[in-house]
Amino acid sequence: MFRKILIANRGEIAIRVAKTARRLGIAAVAVYSDADESAPHARFCDEAIRIGGPKPADSYLRIDRIIDACVKSGADAVHPGYGFLSENAEFAEALEKAGIVFIGPTAQSIRAMGSKSAAKDLMEKAGVPTTPGYQGADQSLDVFRRECARIGYPVLLKATAGGGGKGMKIAAREADLAEALASAQREGKNSFGDDRVLVEKYVPRARHLEVQIVGDGKGEVVHFFERDCSVQRRHQKIIEEAPAPRLPADVRRRLHEIGVNAGKAVQYRGAGTVECLYDGGANVYFMEMNTRLQVEHPVTEMITGVDLVEWQIRVAAGEGLPLKQDDIHERGHAFEARLYAEDPDNSFAPSIGRLTTLRLSDQARVDSGVEEGQEITPYYDPMIAKIITHGASRVEALGRMRAALRETRVAGVETNACFLHALCADGDFASGDVSTKYIDEHPDGLFARPAADARVYGAALLARHLAARAGGADPWGALTGFRLNKAAKAIYWIDVDGAPAIARLFRHGQALDIEIEPRATAAARKEGKGGGESMRFSVAMPSPPAHPGGVGLRLSINGEAFDAFVAPHGGKHRVFIGAESWDVSFPDPLSGAGGHHSVEGSLVAPMPGVVTLLKAKPGEAVAAGAVLMVMEAMKMEHAIKAPHDGTIKAFRFKAGDQVRQGDMLVEFEETA
């Protein structure tokens, strides 16, 4: 067994590997970039070594610096986690040359399966069914046009060295092909250093199923059943479960056979995942093999009771497979929800900033590599945590996931927490009717948010009132002082999710009487609309429990009790009630500043990133929806499109420029 393992990764997976190493009595060494100097994974391990600047190319992708860290620390093995160098054959070879064990497959297996094109060729020779497509060496547009016509539209273009949804584009028709191919090639080059692309028949309502395998490198391969990862955004998984729901027994059996046969075809060593496409009928197609641990491996661990990281370590140490296939059993059901710093209402764009509040359920397994007060930077994946639940049945596991998401409280950045809860509460998802088109097919249920009611206004106003009483920062809002024969009173301007109102508070002993008078927005006034109906209610005054990132409240409105949590969120406050949240501000009507900022006649950067391409020229007339420029952020391309028909007046940045969130990108004049 190894004495010391260096973990060539960061975040939650580095902590996850270190926990198993610690249980096995193995010392763990962390590496960190300048952006991660004080990150939890660097503190959790027994040692931590700096390897470079914040960009992955300057740190986590530097093979030479990681090997230097191994030599410096005396580590005799390296666990790569996932992403970064985990599927890099040159890295595996460099470690072997340095006399350091790579806790993963051989470089030969990585090469065989690392290229989607080569993997499909290999599987076809082994008799494994593959998705109809083209993976040839000729990468010209003319060849792709010919092959796509043969396959039939729609088609899916994929970077051959890709993973995690990067370098994947759909072309619904021939007119879309040129732009989709160019975008897939750029993402492949930027993310993996390889711009080669393959194309496959796109199955619109497919299911994404995968088989977890572990091999001993000598021909023996076992499977750990399957996972369903169908529900995705931007071709990236957001929720996974095991086993797959509503799967015919014969399809399940063939799926496991494909996984084991794929592993045996390359004498696979260690943990890997064979990903397949299921058309919902009788066909299961091999798509690719990930020669590493998967982000979603915890759901497999939960239903089998097996620590997959321990198996990786033991196989790499030469101990062989701890169990035979007949000794591996499944029990119950498990879900994993990926909590991301992203905005579902803005096409799931990543959100950058400081985690001013982070409270996660203690009733679920939570794998996380960030903490309250930490900065979410543009350099790495925006995952905050993985929330994992297990139950004796799918119904029980899903109920526990909903409960865990109801307890999730994150402020300072946008998250997909409300979206995940809506997904888990959706009737079709609860029945197991899932596919890769699930989000597109359920926009009303997944993106709808309830309007603010008396509970939201009451929690926000009470939190502000209590803060004023405690700190004395707002003498006009403290509702104290002598008033002859009158109740203490305060008036606020309040804005909830863009809806302005006037709030009047009257204190009577240990209660507040509140009146909310909605005011029309400027847009509503233009259309001759008012602000809505007024609200009147009473709130009992509680003693709130303290929390550094916010205030927890047990409120009673008109005799009905409920829990709320109010936390600072940027220059506003975020009110959490159950699984929902609302953003609240208290504008100063005398300051001239409102709660809504826009740049008239321009387009601004939705997030920090790098401009990679300008698609138009100043003075050019464009139609609504036309792509004006392309940005890269969080390793993904984001198209900046014309909001209306109009004319480009000027670009403020050129290709290669770094931009900040809110920077003006394009001066744009709408056609009258």
How confident is the model over 168-181, as pLDDT tens digits?
899 999 999 999 99
DSSP structure class, residue 116: H
Least confident stretch, 14-23, 66-75, 581-590, 627-636: 627-636
Residue 480 has pLDDT above 60, yes or no: no
Q: How many domains does the chain have?
A: 5
Residue 420 has pLDDT above 90, yes or no: yes
- CATH number for position 394: 3.30.470.20
pTM: 0.84
Does any domain span residue 657?
yes
Three-state SS for 147? helix
Query: Could you please report the per-residue DSSP string of 475-504?
Result: GGGS--S--TTS-EEEEEEEEETTEEEEEE
Residue 474 has pLDDT above 60, yes or no: no
Does any domain span residue 256?
yes
Residue 593's pLDDT is what?
A: 40
What does the pLDDT average to over 495-503? 92
Does any domain span residue 235?
yes
What does the pLDDT average to over 398-417? 97
Query: For residue range 550-562, what is the model confidence (pLDDT) as tens digits?
Result: 889 999 998 899 9
Does any domain span residue 115?
no
- CATH number for position 46: 3.40.50.20
Does any domain span residue 259?
yes
Residues 492 and 630 placed together within one structural domain of the fold: no
As a three-state string, the secondary structure of 510-524 is CEEEEEEEECCCHHH
Residues 433 and 520 placed together within one structural domain of the fold: no
What does the pLDDT average to over 596-621? 74
What does the pLDDT average to over 226-247? 95
Confidence grade of residue 526 (pLDDT, cut at 50, 70, 90): low
Query: For residue range 185-235, what is the model confidence (pLDDT) as tens digits?
Result: 998 888 778 899 999 988 878 999 999 999 999 999 999 999 999 999 988
For residue 663, give its domain range: 602-670
Residue 94's pLDDT is what?
A: 98
Residue 36's pLDDT is what?
A: 96
Residue 484 has pLDDT above 90, yes or no: no
What does the pLDDT average to over 106-119? 87
100 vs 211: CA distance, rounded Å: 29
173 is catalytic: no
Which of residues 12 and 532 earns the better pLDDT score? 12
Residues 540 and 523 placed together within one structural domain of the fold: yes
Residue 492's pLDDT is what?
A: 87
Residues 414 and 458 placed together within one structural domain of the fold: no
Choosing from 186, 292, 359, 406, the catalytic residue is: 292
* 37 Cβ contact list (under 8 Å, min separation 6): 50
Query: For residue range 610-627, what is the model confidence (pLDDT) as tens digits?
Result: 898 998 899 999 988 888
Residues 264 and 364 placed together within one structural domain of the fold: yes
Q: Give me 352's structure tokens.
A: 């950058």
Residues 332 and 279 placed together within one structural domain of the fold: yes
CB atoms within 10 A of CB 643: 12
Residue 596 has pLDDT above 50, yes or no: no
Q: Say what percent of the chain tops pLDDT 70.
A: 92
- Contact criterion met (CB below 8 Å) for 24 and 313: yes
Which of 447, 471, 493 is the C-terminal boundary of a domain? Answer: 447
Which of 527, 556, 585 is the C-terminal boundary of a domain? Answer: 585
- CATH number for position 148: 3.30.1490.20
